[in-house]
Amino acid sequence: MPLSRRLFVTAAATLAASGSTSFALAAPGGPAAEPDHRIPVSPDDTPEELVAKASQVRPTDRQIAWQRLERTAFLHFGVNTFTGLEWGMGDEDPDVFQPVGLDTDQWARALRDGGFKLAILTVKHHDGFVLYPSRYTSHTVASSSWRDGQGDVLRSFADSMRRYGIKVGVYISPADENQYLDGVYANGSARYERTIPTPVADDDRSGGPQFTLPATDYGAHMLNQLYEVLTEYGPVDEVWFDGAQGRIPPDKVEKYDWDSWYALVRALAPDASIAVSGPDVRWVGNEGGSARENEWSVVPVTEKDNGRMDFALSYDAPDMGGRDALVAAQPVADFLQWWPAESDVSIRDGWFYHADQQPKTVEQLTDIYFRSVGRNSVLLLNIPPDTQGLLPAADVARLREFRERVDRELPEDLARGARVTTSPGTVTVDLGAAREVDRIRLAEDIRYGQQVESVVIEAQRGGTWQRVTEAGTLGASRILLLPAPVRARRWRLRVTRSRRAARIAQFALYRSQL
C-alpha cells in the first residue's frame, strides 16, 4: 500500500508564533531514533535506510530561528566602494575610505521599511580592510583621515540596527589580500595551540575569557579579529564566512582553521548562525537569489580539512536532498545534516556600489522573493552603501516598493479563522463562502524535520474535488502561484508522499491585490 494511503492524523495543535494550525499527518511505525541535526551515514546503508535517517534529522533552535527570518540584508561596504573594484588588491591606501555622510540609521530605517529582519555588514572583505579599529592590523578605518582616525563603521552599524529592531550579522572574509602582501596569510606556518586573544602592546582590555585553539599564524589572526568583534560589538546573530582563497600562487594556499573559528563563535555567540562556509547555513549554489524548485534542508554533507562542512554533491546539483540525491551522494557523504539554503543576490549588478548601476525592478525582486522565500530558502539581498555612506535613494525607494508589493501579493490569509477539518492524509479548509484564490502558502512544522515529498492542492467545484496545483517538498516555506484565480469555498491539501510524520504548520490561501 502506498505511504500516502497509510497516513493518518494523530494530533492537531496551534502554533503561537504563526497563528496557524499544525496537523500531524503521521505514518505508522516504531519510534524513530533520537533526533539530531546531523546523522552519520555509511556506504552500506540501503536507499530505504538513507530515507529513514533523513527523516530523523532535526534543526537546532538557532536554525529554526534563522529560517523564520525570511528576508535578510547584505551590506557590501569598504575600500572597494571608493576604488570601483569588486575584489580589492590589499594595497589600497586606507585614506581612500571617506564616507563623509555616513548614516547607518538611514540604512536601518530603509531595511526596516523593506521588511528585513537581519543585516550583515562586510566587516572585512577579501582586500583585508577592516571597518573597525582592530588591534591586529593597521589596514583599518583607524588609518584613514575620515573622522580623524576615530571612525568605527561596525560600531555605528551595530548600534543602528539594534535601535531599529534589526538583528546584527557580520561578514569576515577568510581571504585577506593585505595579510598576504604584508602579513601572515599563507606564510606556511605550522598549526599549533594558540592563546586567544593574543596579547598586544598597550592592550586596553581587562579580563574576559581566554581560549587555547589550534591555528596557523593567519588562523590566529582571524581568531583574534573574531574575538574583537564578538566580545565588543555583540550580540551577533549571524557570522558569515565564504570559502574564497586569496589571489595567490597555488603553492601558497592557506588552509583555514574552520574548526577553531567555529568553536570560538559557538563560545562567544552561541545563538549566532554560522554561514555559508559553516555548519548552520549553506549557500544555495548561485548568486541569482534562486533556490531549487524542491529545496531540501536535509542534505548529504562531507567534512573536509579542519572540520569544514561542504556539499557531498556539486554546487550546481539540481537536487540536494531527494531520494536519488541521497543515493548519489552516498560514496562521499559523511552525514545527513540539517543545512538549510540561503539565497544571495545583489539589488544591483555588482556587490559594491557603482554609480553607473541601477537597482533591480520591483518585478525582478518579487520574482526573486518567490524563488527564494517561496522555495524553502532565506533571501539574502545585498544593498551596497554609496561613497557618501548612504543607501542610494533609488535603492531605498525600491526596498519600500518591494515590501509593499509582497504585501499585496500575500494580503490577508483567507483561511485564518476558517473551519478546518482533517482526515487521513488531508487538511480541508472551509472558507464559509466561495472566494477567489491565486496564492497558496504551505509550511511544515520543521521542529519535526522535513518530511513532505509531494502534495496536491484541490478545490471543490461543482460538487467534485478538482486538482488546482501540486508541489514537491515544503520545508519551512513553500509559496505556490496560480496562473489564474480559482473560486471555491472548500480547499484541500493532500499529502501524496512523505518520509515519516508530516506535520503541516501552514495552509494559507490568498487573493493577490495587484
Average pLDDT over residues 315-322: 93
Average pLDDT over residues 103-130: 98
Whether the CB-CB separation of 123 and 229 falls below 8 Å is answered with yes
Q: Where are the alpha helices (DSSP H) in 138-216?
A: 153-163, 177-182
> At residue 252, does pLDDT exceed 50?
yes
Q: Read off the C-alpha cell for 92.
A: 589600497
Q: Are residue 175 and residue 293 in the same domain, yes or no?
A: yes
Helix (H, G, I), strand (E, B) or coil at 66: helix
Residues in the chain: 514
Q: What is the rounded distance in angstroms from the CA atom of residue 172 to the CA atom of residue 182?
A: 18
Q: What is the pLDDT of residues 176-213, one digit of tens each?
A: 999 999 999 999 999 999 999 999 998 888 889 999 99
> At residue 100, does pLDDT exceed 50?
yes
Q: Read off the C-alpha cell for 479.
A: 509559496
The pLDDT assigned to 16 comes to 28
Q: Are residue 141 and residue 238 in the same domain, yes or no?
A: yes
**CATH number of the structural domain spanning residue 463:** 2.60.120.260
Confidence class for position 21, pLDDT limits 50, 70, 90: very low
Q: Are residue 401 and residue 463 in the same domain, yes or no?
A: no
> At residue 1, does pLDDT exceed 60?
no
Tell me, yes or no, whether 48 lies in a domain.
Answer: no
Boundary residue ending a domain (409, 437, 457):
409
- One-letter-per-residue 3-state SS of 220-251: HHHHHHHHHHHHHCCCCCEEEECCCCCCCCHH
Boundary residue ending a domain (386, 409, 432):
409
- C-beta neighbour count of 227 within 10 angstroms: 23
The pLDDT assigned to 32 comes to 38
Percentage of the chain exceeding pLDDT 90 = 87
Tell me, yes or no, whether 35 lies in a domain.
Answer: no
Q: What is the rounded distance in angstroms from the CA atom of residue 160 to the CA atom of residue 18?
A: 27
Cell numbers 583574534 correspond to: 224
DSSP category for residue 393:
H
The pLDDT assigned to 55 comes to 97
Helix (H, G, I), strand (E, B) or coil at 288: coil
Q: Are residue 505 and residue 372 in the same domain, yes or no?
A: no
Structural domain span for residue 433 = 419-510
> At residue 17, does pLDDT exceed 70?
no
Peptide bond into 276 cis (omega under 30): yes
> At residue 502, does pLDDT exceed 60?
yes
Q: Are residue 401 and residue 499 in the same domain, yes or no?
A: no
Q: Read off the C-alpha cell for 382.
A: 545585498
What are all long-range contacts of 404-407, with beta carbons under 8 Å and residues at least 24 apart?
Answer: 405/362, 405/365, 405/366, 406/115, 406/366, 406/369
The pLDDT assigned to 35 comes to 56
Tell me, yes or no, whether 263 lies in a domain.
Answer: yes
Q: What is the rounded distance in angstroms from the CA atom of residue 410 to the CA atom of residue 413?
A: 8
> pLDDT: is 206 or 367 the higher one?
367
CB under 8 Å to 426, separation ≥6 — which residues?
492, 493, 494, 495
Q: Are residue 123 and residue 224 in the same domain, yes or no?
A: yes
Whether the CB-CB separation of 306 and 261 falls below 8 Å is answered with no
Tell me, yes or no, whether 478 lies in a domain.
Answer: yes
What is the distance between the terminal CA atoms of the chain, rounded to a whole angstrom?
A: 44
Q: Are residue 231 and residue 266 in the same domain, yes or no?
A: yes
**CATH number of the structural domain spanning residue 129:** 3.20.20.80
Q: Are residue 126 and residue 105 in the same domain, yes or no?
A: yes
Angle, helices 393-409 vs 104-113, to 10°: value is: 20
> At residue 215, does pLDDT exceed 50?
yes
Q: How many domains are there within the chain?
A: 2
Q: What is the rounded distance in angstroms from the CA atom of residue 507 to the CA atom of residue 493?
A: 8
In whole angstroms, how far apart are CA 325 and each of 88, 221, 281, 328, 342? 38, 38, 19, 5, 19
Q: Are residue 101 and residue 158 in the same domain, yes or no?
A: yes
Tell me, yes or no, whether 4 lies in a domain.
Answer: no
> At residue 481, does pLDDT exceed 60?
yes
Boundary residue ending a domain (387, 409, 431):
409
Q: Are residue 176 and residue 242 in the same domain, yes or no?
A: yes
> Whole-model pTM above 0.95?
no
Amino acid type, 494: R
Q: What is the rounded distance in angstroms from the CA atom of residue 162 to the CA atom of residue 118?
A: 10
> At residue 31, does pLDDT exceed 80?
no
> At residue 271, does pLDDT exceed 70?
yes
Q: What is the rounded distance in angstroms from the CA atom of residue 12 to the CA atom of residue 200?
A: 58
Q: Read off the C-alpha cell for 412.
A: 490577508
In whole angstroms, how far apart are CA 211 and each of 193, 195, 208, 260, 273? 10, 6, 10, 10, 20
Tell me, yes or no, whether 255 lies in a domain.
Answer: yes
Tell me, yes or no, whether 434 lies in a domain.
Answer: yes
Q: What is the rounded distance in angstroms from the CA atom of residue 119 to the CA atom of residue 72?
A: 6
Q: Are residue 395 and residue 375 in the same domain, yes or no?
A: yes
The pLDDT assigned to 164 comes to 98
> At residue 398, does pLDDT exceed 50?
yes
Q: Which of 443, 311, 313 is nearest to 376 (CA)?
A: 443
Tell me, yes or no, whether 96 lies in a domain.
Answer: yes
The pLDDT assigned to 22 comes to 44
> At residue 10, does pLDDT exceed 50?
no
The pLDDT assigned to 18 comes to 33
The pLDDT assigned to 501 comes to 83
Q: What is the rounded distance in angstroms from the CA atom of residue 204 to the CA atom of residue 207?
A: 10
Q: What is the rounded distance in angstroms from the CA atom of residue 478 to the CA atom of residue 446?
A: 13
The pLDDT assigned to 459 comes to 98
Helix (H, G, I), strand (E, B) or coil at 301: strand
Q: What is the pLDDT of residues 61-87, one digit of tens each?
A: 999 999 999 999 999 999 999 999 999
Q: What does DSSP say about strands 478-498 and 426-444: parallel, antiparallel, or unpaired?
A: antiparallel
Q: What is the rounded distance in angstroms from the CA atom of residue 205 to the CA atom of residue 226?
A: 15
Report the run of H or E that residue 112 belongs to, with start and end: helix 104-113
Q: Are residue 497 and residue 385 in the same domain, yes or no?
A: no
Q: What is the pLDDT of residues 117-168, one digit of tens each?
A: 999 999 999 999 999 999 999 999 999 999 999 999 999 999 999 999 999 9
> At residue 28, does pLDDT exceed 80?
no
CB under 8 Å to 257, separation ≥6 — which residues?
191, 213, 214, 215, 216, 219, 222, 223, 306
